[in-house]
Chain A
Amino acid sequence: MSKVKVTIDGREVEVPAGSTIYEAAQQVGVEIPTFCYDPELTRVGACRICVVEVEKARALVASCAAPVGDGMVVHTESERVVKARKNILRLILGNHPLECMTCQKTGDCKLQDYCYYYGVNEAGFEGEVKELELDDTNPFIRRDMNKCLLCGKCVRKCEEINGATAIDFMNRGFISNVGPAFDDPLEESPCVFCGLCVDVCPVGALLPRESIGKGRPWQVEKKEVVCPYCGVGCSINLHIKDGEVIDASAVEDSPVNRGHLCTKGRFGWDFLQSEERLTSPLVKQNGVFVETGWEEALQEVAKRLTEVRQKYGNDALAGLSSAKVTNEENYLFQKFIRELGTNNVDHCARLCHSPTLAGMEKAFGIAGMTNTIEEITGAGVILVIGSNTTETHPVVSYRVKEAVNNGAGLIVVDPRETRLAVEADSFLQVRPGTDVALLNGLAHLIIKEDLVDQKFIEEKTEGFEELKKTLDGYTPEYVEKITGVPAGELREAARLFGAAEKGSILYTMGITSHTSGTNNVLSVCNLAMLTGNIGEESTGVNSLCGQNNVQGACDMGALPDKLAGEHSIEEKDTGLTAVEMMKAAAEGEVKAMYIMGENPLLSEPHLEHVQEAMEKLDFLVVQDIFLSETAQKADVVLPAAAFAEKDGTYTNTERRVQLSRAAVAAPGEARADWEILCGLANKLGMNWDFSSPEEIMKEIASRNPNYAGINYQRLEESKGLQWPCPDLGHAGTPVLHREGFARGRGKFHPVEYAPPSEETDSYYPLWLTTGRHIFHYHTSTMTGRSRGLGSHVPEEMVQVNPEDASRLDISGGDTVEVASRRGKLNARADLTDMVPPGTVFMTFHSSELAVNFLTSDEMDAEAKVPELKVCAVNVRKAEQSH
């Protein structure tokens, strides 16, 4: 790239041609004030505060937008510039309420800073001022548009980064304003409350509601932690005053989220301070929980577990570890259970990630998202299948959006018309549970139209001929019959995906939570290998993990068939999987359970059955931060520290191991899970002497070769390390299978379509599929106790297509009965085109309307994942009495 020479305030600098004056000034360390500039947004040059004087130019120019020219001589603080800036500030002050004494923004306000710097303290203009109403209706953001200076950064963040496009400029001239359509409150707009707008507002127009009045910027200490919600693993700065979190913001230099968050990360931290937090161990006596000391509680657990072992044997014990706690704690949990002499240990990855483990291991040799999140932005085409990315992994959806803005094609496969589907070049609305047929259909067409990567197939894979034979029958017309996707649309999608240089596939539970889960994953792997989209940047099979530490919990061996580091256990010694544990408990084979940070009484399928199973247990100990639905059934409840209250590492969906340090103290007597486990282990004579998570990580590194090069010092110095990281000199592995596959050659597995475990019939004529929405997380144990998230979308409703609704005589808001072969519940109907005719949708967040009473516990033969994503239901208008 050619360079040009410019002189800024007497300093010469060479910068790439096309740089702006502002960028050049930054290079020589000259600060220029800005309101409307943000490096990742379109330059608009709207606020004019960044004007500079360029020699020989007639007028002052906006440095954030004006490109440099060779030989340009720039003065950033000349008399003329200062005069102009002062005038701009006066004009702003003329129409800006001077409430700095109480304004939350004081100390962090650009207007205040610049007025201070240039000595401007009054407008000197008199005239009309804005008198707009305060928008204080939503629980997240307080909007006082009288303070707005119309820089428009919020508008661009909303449109260019998030994609919600909830706000924009309205009107003209003096009455110009920024807000949602029809000047409605934010609450009624498409706003998803990611808070990106709040964080870029240079003044106090947009404020985080929870933080108002709680502390000044200079009283706050910022501590970096890893977000406790989804598998993206964003870094968050918690703003702490007097030991209490009062706000949060995104960490700008995190390679994962680079300054972006979603509503949960931004506003969902306040469950930490919930009054419902468990603060003392509880032991149930005569059906009532009684607070006890730790000694007594641990003694009780040790005694009862020992009794069960002595009476029924070691395999009468089972433990559920947690994808919510740290690697160290997962490692200890499985170690604890295994030292008790059983492999009955599993965690909620059984419900989501297990088919990925099974499928990718068979196809590639190791299992994990093959590429990094950031690489998505460089893809030529993105295939999103079975993932409502916008709501489940919002920050990943920002990257998809960025890729699309960069010109990438977008294919979305989903039964529901999700927001990404609306934006897609190609939206294939499949019938739930028919993904294998669809993926085979795409592969069939890619072979037929000669869009395969022949060289890749020959050099790096095996089993192509067998695959080809199986795919033969999957003509677009045949696939249309199974999936409901018109043959023509399938052809277009296949061409779009096959023709692109770099194709990235993203999937989530829509692929995995099926009886065909493992086969679904294998078909995805086939498609990626067929097109040579493995082992290169911006390609890959990118499974997006649900929880923040699904990948880590699996790596630590919190699985019945694997020890840490994918050391498989002999098949005869394999323990029970999560769903099998419940079945075994119901049959009286499992007598005692230890559940850490999971809530199976809401998350497992076929809940009625799970309830029965739990009732039958002789002993149940639950370790959690809240008295969850499951904890209420426990004999002993152990209060745990939450994410921000302990040290430890989490492995995000892209295999990045990140260190999160304690930022605040745990409430009351609550202890970190690893401390509790150590205490309990020692009560049972295991002689553990771990004194910190760092020590536990040393043992992990010695057991799991992928973690061998990882220690706290390295994590502290880096922004996380992506496994495999086999030795201390290794920088981590952003892209898997670059030098060939872990198993040698990538293996194509021909898989045939098999229908879901249950079919619709005249009694149960509709498909029910389940999922999440953006404001809640899983069983809402945490989000439900966040003031903002918990109150924003309070009611769980069932989504019904208007066509079905009119056939069933259902109006929007009517209470309907949704019944499956296992249970029924009453919910209000939300009529929407988002679901196709014949399919209804519910989330699994609600405890009052627990959809898992309806779902099926039929399992994938290999991964033992239950079919949470599809079951047959009947929907009818509920009796009046309900």
Chain B
Amino acid sequence: MKTFCHCNNHYGLENSSIILFMQNIQRNCGYLPEDELKRLADNTGTPLMDIYSIATFYKSFKLEPQGEHTITVCTGTACHLRGSGEVFEEMAAVLGVGSGGGTSEDGKYTLEKVNCLGACALAPLIVIDGHYHGNVTPGKAREMIEEHYK
């Protein structure tokens, strides 16, 4: 696994680059492992507490291991009105995660909500591993996952 040290050369050990380091760690590890953050603190001389504060402030930073695939359901106004809630519920049921989202037991999928992706014409919208899928219905969503599992 590529770790923090890997990205040293890119940015130099500057305190101000801390978010870049964290993004890099997340890109490489899929989330921000505690050990990596401690190493980052040691190597940059930034208090661990500051790093943790940043990590919990930004929703896009994850402190828990994520599934192999990430499914994001848009819950913006347009998506909401066109049934994104039902889509989310259906997917949560299929993946066996709670109503707030989370990672499936087999570690394959992480389901999460996002406030608005700005592609309201496609509502309701979901994103699987960076690929956008518009006009989703609960049924379609189920199919997509089942398809994916094959």
Which of A's residues lie within 8 Å of B, judged by CB? 159, 165-172, 180-182, 189-190, 422-423
Cross-chain contact of A182 among B47, B52, B57, B59 (Cβ < 8 A) = B52
| A172 pairs with B57, CB closer than 8 A | yes
Cross-chain contact of B47 among A169, A170, A190 (Cβ < 8 A) = A190
Residues of A contacting B53 in the complex (Cβ-Cβ under 8 angstroms): 168-170
**B120 an interface residue at 8 Å Cβ cutoff?**
no
**B51 an interface residue at 8 Å Cβ cutoff?**
yes
| B50 pairs with A165, CB closer than 8 A | yes
Min CB gap A410→B, angstroms: 13
| B52 pairs with A181, CB closer than 8 A | yes
Q: How far, in angstroms, from A171 to B58 measured CA to CA in the complex?
A: 8
Residue from B45, B49, B63 whose CB has the most chain A CB atoms within 10 Å: B49
Q: How far, in angstroms, from A171 to B54 measured CA to CA in the complex?
A: 8
Report B37-61 residues with CB < 8 Å from chain A CB: 37, 45, 47-53, 56-57, 59
**B129 an interface residue at 8 Å Cβ cutoff?**
no
Residues of B contacting A168 in the complex (Cβ-Cβ under 8 angstroms): 47, 49-50, 52-53
**B34 an interface residue at 8 Å Cβ cutoff?**
yes
Residue from B37, B48, B57 whose CB has the most chain A CB atoms within 10 Å: B48
Cross-chain contact of A422 among B37, B45, B51 (Cβ < 8 A) = B45
| B57 pairs with A181, CB closer than 8 A | no
Residues of A contacting B51 in the complex (Cβ-Cβ under 8 angstroms): 181
| B56 pairs with A165, CB closer than 8 A | no
Q: How far, in angstroms, from A167 to B48 measured CA to CA in the complex?
A: 9
Q: Across the A-B interface, give the 3 residue pairs with the lowest CB-CB distance, nearest first.
A: A165-B47, A181-B52, A168-B53
Residue-wise interface mask of B (22-42) relative to A, using a CB-CB cutoff of 8 A (1 in contact, 0 not): 000000000000100100000
Q: How far, in angstroms, from A86 to B17 measured CA to CA in the complex?
A: 42
The chain B residue with its CB closest to the CB of A177 is B56
| A189 pairs with B49, CB closer than 8 A | yes
Residues of A contacting B47 in the complex (Cβ-Cβ under 8 angstroms): 159, 165, 168, 190
Residue-wise interface mask of B (48-81) relative to A, using a CB-CB cutoff of 8 A (1 in contact, 0 not): 1111110011010001000000000000000000
Cross-chain contact of B49 among A165, A422, A423 (Cβ < 8 A) = A165
Known interface pairs A171-B57, A182-B34; A166-B45 also in contact (CB < 8 Å): no
Residue from B50, B51, B56 whose CB has the most chain A CB atoms within 10 Å: B56
Min CB gap B124→A, angstroms: 25
Min CB gap B40→A, angstroms: 12
Q: How far, in angstroms, from A182 to B53 measured CA to CA in the complex?
A: 9
The chain B residue with its CB closest to the CB of A189 is B49
Listed A/B pairs (21) with beta-carbon separation below 8 Å:
A159-B47, A165-B49, A165-B50, A167-B49, A168-B47, A168-B52, A169-B57, A170-B52, A170-B56, A172-B56, A172-B57, A180-B49, A181-B37, A181-B49, A181-B51, A181-B52, A182-B34, A190-B47, A190-B48, A190-B49, A422-B45
Q: How far, in angstroms, from A171 to B57 measured CA to CA in the complex?
A: 5
Residues of A contacting B34 in the complex (Cβ-Cβ under 8 angstroms): 182
| B49 pairs with A171, CB closer than 8 A | no
The chain A residue with its CB closest to the CB of B47 is A165
Q: With A172-B56, A181-B49 given, can you name 13 additional A-B contacts, CB distance below 8 Å?
A: A165-B50, A166-B49, A168-B47, A169-B53, A170-B57, A171-B56, A171-B57, A181-B51, A182-B34, A189-B49, A190-B47, A190-B48, A423-B45
Residues of A contacting B52 in the complex (Cβ-Cβ under 8 angstroms): 168, 170, 181-182
Q: How far, in angstroms, from A786 to B50 measured CA to CA in the complex?
A: 32
Residues of B contacting A422 in the complex (Cβ-Cβ under 8 angstroms): 45
Min CB gap A866→B, angstroms: 36
Q: How far, in angstroms, from A737 to B51 measured CA to CA in the complex?
A: 47
Min CB gap B43→A, angstroms: 12
Residues of B contacting A165 in the complex (Cβ-Cβ under 8 angstroms): 47, 49-50
Residues of A contacting B49 in the complex (Cβ-Cβ under 8 angstroms): 165-168, 180-181, 189-190
How many residue pairs, one in A and one in B, have C-beta atoms under 8 Å apart? Answer: 37
Q: How far, in angstroms, from A166 to B50 measured CA to CA in the complex?
A: 9
Residues of A contacting B57 in the complex (Cβ-Cβ under 8 angstroms): 169-172
Residues of B contacting A180 in the complex (Cβ-Cβ under 8 angstroms): 49
Residues of B contacting A182 in the complex (Cβ-Cβ under 8 angstroms): 34, 52, 63
Q: How far, in angstroms, from A190 to B49 measured CA to CA in the complex?
A: 9
Residues of B contacting A167 in the complex (Cβ-Cβ under 8 angstroms): 49
Residue-wise interface mask of B (111-133) relative to A, using a CB-CB cutoff of 8 A (1 in contact, 0 not): 00000000000000000000000
The chain B residue with its CB closest to the CB of A171 is B56
Residues of A contacting B37 in the complex (Cβ-Cβ under 8 angstroms): 181
Residues of B contacting A190 in the complex (Cβ-Cβ under 8 angstroms): 47-49
The chain A residue with its CB closest to the CB of B59 is A172
The chain B residue with its CB closest to the CB of A181 is B52
Q: How far, in angstroms, from A190 to B47 measured CA to CA in the complex?
A: 9
Q: How far, in angstroms, from A711 to B78 measured CA to CA in the complex?
A: 81
Q: How far, in angstroms, from A181 to B34 measured CA to CA in the complex?
A: 10
The chain A residue with its CB closest to the CB of B58 is A172
Q: How far, in angstroms, from A422 to B45 measured CA to CA in the complex?
A: 7
The chain B residue with its CB closest to the CB of A166 is B49
Min CB gap B142→A, angstroms: 32
Q: How far, in angstroms, from A92 to B59 measured CA to CA in the complex?
A: 25
The chain B residue with its CB closest to the CB of A169 is B53
Q: How far, in angstroms, from A169 to B47 measured CA to CA in the complex?
A: 13
Residues of A contacting B50 in the complex (Cβ-Cβ under 8 angstroms): 165, 168
Q: How far, in angstroms, from A181 to B51 measured CA to CA in the complex?
A: 8
Q: How far, in angstroms, from A172 to B51 measured CA to CA in the complex?
A: 15
The chain A residue with its CB closest to the CB of B63 is A182
The chain A residue with its CB closest to the CB of B57 is A172
The chain A residue with its CB closest to the CB of B52 is A181
Q: How far, in angstroms, from A422 to B51 measured CA to CA in the complex?
A: 17
Q: How far, in angstroms, from A167 to B37 measured CA to CA in the complex?
A: 16
Min CB gap B48→A, angstroms: 5
Q: How far, in angstroms, from A165 to B59 measured CA to CA in the complex?
A: 23
Q: How far, in angstroms, from A240 to B51 measured CA to CA in the complex?
A: 41
Q: How far, in angstroms, from A181 to B56 measured CA to CA in the complex?
A: 10
Q: How far, in angstroms, from A588 to B65 measured CA to CA in the complex?
A: 71
Q: How far, in angstroms, from A170 to B59 measured CA to CA in the complex?
A: 12
Residues of A contacting B48 in the complex (Cβ-Cβ under 8 angstroms): 181, 190
Q: How far, in angstroms, from A170 to B63 measured CA to CA in the complex?
A: 12
Report B80-135 residues with CB < 8 Å from chain A CB: none
Residues of A contacting B56 in the complex (Cβ-Cβ under 8 angstroms): 170-172
Q: How far, in angstroms, from A190 to B51 measured CA to CA in the complex?
A: 14
Q: How far, in angstroms, from A330 to B49 measured CA to CA in the complex?
A: 46
Q: How far, in angstroms, from A159 to B45 measured CA to CA in the complex?
A: 14
Q: How far, in angstroms, from A171 to B61 measured CA to CA in the complex?
A: 11
Residues of B contacting A159 in the complex (Cβ-Cβ under 8 angstroms): 47
The chain B residue with its CB closest to the CB of A164 is B47
Q: How far, in angstroms, from A369 to B11 measured CA to CA in the complex?
A: 44
Min CB gap B29→A, angstroms: 16
The chain A residue with its CB closest to the CB of B53 is A168
The chain B residue with its CB closest to the CB of A175 is B56
Q: How far, in angstroms, from A190 to B38 measured CA to CA in the complex?
A: 12
Q: How far, in angstroms, from A461 to B149 measured CA to CA in the complex?
A: 86
Q: How far, in angstroms, from A189 to B41 measured CA to CA in the complex?
A: 13
Q: How far, in angstroms, from A422 to B57 measured CA to CA in the complex?
A: 27
Residues of A contacting B45 in the complex (Cβ-Cβ under 8 angstroms): 422-423
The chain B residue with its CB closest to the CB of A167 is B49
Min CB gap A171→B, angstroms: 5
Q: How far, in angstroms, from A167 to B52 measured CA to CA in the complex?
A: 10
Q: How far, in angstroms, from A169 to B63 measured CA to CA in the complex?
A: 16
Q: How far, in angstroms, from A167 to B56 measured CA to CA in the complex?
A: 13
The chain A residue with its CB closest to the CB of B41 is A181
Q: How far, in angstroms, from A165 to B45 measured CA to CA in the complex?
A: 12
Q: How far, in angstroms, from A772 to B80 measured CA to CA in the complex?
A: 62
Residues of B contacting A166 in the complex (Cβ-Cβ under 8 angstroms): 49
The chain A residue with its CB closest to the CB of B45 is A422
